[in-house]
Amino acid sequence: MKKHHVIYEAKNCNWEALSNSQHISNCIRKIAELTNSWVLNEPIVVVRKIGVIGVTCALVTQSSHIIIHTFQETREASLDVYSYTPIDQNILKETFAKYFGVSVSSV
């Protein structure tokens, strides 16, 4: 079985998107839908209020995981998708960019 691992980083993200845990949860659910992932749990959302301020959101799927980290101070976000199902990287990148208010070329 072939595995697929994609990591994207975005800079100069929309400030509101970086701190809104519901928005980040919606993004991770959309990515799960786009990757045809069978979701095994609700998104786990941790708001980091000390140290590196931001949000970490994780979703466990039948074939692995989807994780988003946001970093408010530097206005950055990262997406980590690991899957045994094929991933359309263009759609994934477009969706990530849209949710965090950046152009696809900056991801």
The token pair at 6 is 């994609």
Of the pLDDT bands very low, low, confident and very high (cuts 50, 70, 90), residue 83 is confident
Tell me if 91 sits within 8 A of 79, measured CB to CB: no
CA distances to 7, 50, 72, 84 from 31, in Å: 13, 28, 21, 15
Residue 76 DSSP SS3: strand
| pLDDT value at residue 62 | 87
76 closest CA partner among 68, 84, 88, 64: 68
pTM of the model: 0.93
The token pair at 62 is 């039948």
| pLDDT value at residue 2 | 80
pLDDT in tens, 12-64: 999 999 999 999 999 999 999 998 888 999 999 999 999 999 999 999 988 88
| pLDDT value at residue 84 | 83
